[in-house]
Amino acid sequence: MTDTAPVRIAAIQTVSGPVVADNLAVAGGLVAEAAAAGARLIALPEYFGILGNRDTDKVDAREVPGRGPIQDFLSATARRFGVWLVGGSVPMASPLPGRIFNACLVYGPDGGLAARYDKIHLFGLDLGAEKFTEAKTIFPGNRVATVDTDLGRVGLSICYDLRFPELYRAMGAVDLIVVPSAFTATTGEAHWEPLLRARAIENQCYVLAPAQGGRHPNGRSTHGHSLAIDPWGRVLAQRDTGPGVVIAEFDRAEIARVRRALPALEHRTLPPVPSVSGPSDPTPDPVEPR
C-alpha cells in the first residue's frame, strides 16, 4: 500500500576518499541526520563507499552479492532507521577480474535487499588535461531497474545514465527517479541541473540526485549540487558543495496534479520509423493536364 500523504526524502552529499571505513562513518552520520529530520527514503551518491586514489582501487574493494562491508553497512543502516536506503553505487564483482559492476543497491526498512541496478552507460571524457574512461574498470549492466516502495515506484540510474533519456522512458511510469552521481566539476557546471530538470519534466515525476561534491584526496573535483526536483521541474532543495543532507517533500498528489493538468505521458506516441530507401508511399508525380 503506497502512501498518499506527503513524505520527506533525502539526498546525501559526500566527498569520499580511498578508505572505505572512513567513508561509511561519514555516510552513517549523514543518514542518521536525514532520518532524524523525518526522511523515509534516503539516497547516497555514486562511489559513497570508495573514491580511490587510482581507478583500480574500486576494483580491489569489490564485493560479492550478500557479503562485504559496504553491503553490510547499507543493510544494517536501513534496518536501524527503518528507511528505504539507496546505496548510490557499490563496487560489485563482475565476470572479468579487472572490472566491476557499478551497482546501485536499494535496501528496504527491514534491511533486506529490494533492488539492484548495474550502471549501463559508462562515462568517457577527453578534454585534453581531463580524461575519464570508465570502461577500463567497469563492466556495463544491461537491465533497466525499478523498485516498488510504500512511497511509490522508484526508477534507478547512476550518473552518466542521466544523458540518455531513453533509459528513463524504458522504466515506464515512475514516481521518483534517483540519480546518484559523481559529476566532474567541469561537466557538472555545464550540464548537471539542466539534465536533471529535463528528466523530471519529461517523466513528470520527482528526481532525487545525491552527488559527490568537493575536492577529493586524489585531487579530483566533483560538482556537488545534490538536489531534489518536483514533477514540474522546480528545484526544491540543493546543497552546493561539501558533505551534507538535502531534504525535500515528496507528494504523490502533486504528481497526479501535474499529469492531469498536462497529460504529456498520455499524449506520447512513437514516431514512424524512417525508411532507408525513401518514403514507403511516395507521392505520385504530378500529371500534366491535357
- Which of 151, 180, 214, 8 minimizes the C-alpha distance to 87? 180
Q: Which of 46, 58, 104, 205 is catalytic?
A: 46
CA–CA dist 59, 159 (Å, integer): 18
| Angle, alpha carbons 208-133-140 (nearest 5°) | 60
Decide if 46 is catalytic: yes
Decide if 205 is catalytic: no
Q: Which of 63, 119, 134, 205 is catalytic?
A: 119
What are residue 169's phi and psi, to 5 degrees?
A: -65, -35
- Which of 19, 21, 30 minimizes the C-alpha distance to 243? 30
Torsion of Cα atoms, 61 then 62 then 65 then 69, to 10° = 10
- Residue where the block lists cell 576518499: 17
The full DSSP string for 185-234 is: HHHHHHHHHHHHHHHHHHHTSEEEE-BBEEE-TTS-EEE--EEEE-TTS-
Q: Which of 63, 134, 159, 205 is catalytic?
A: 159
- Which of 73, 28, 57 minimizes the C-alpha distance to 217? 57
DSSP bridge pairs for 87: 105
DSSP bridge pairs for 100: 93, 138
Torsion of Cα atoms, 121 then 127 then 132 then 133, to 10° = 60
CA–CA dist 27, 153 (Å, integer): 25
Say if CB 264 and CB 16 are below 8 A apart. Answer: no
Decide if 119 is catalytic: yes
**Residues identified as active-site:** 46, 119, 159
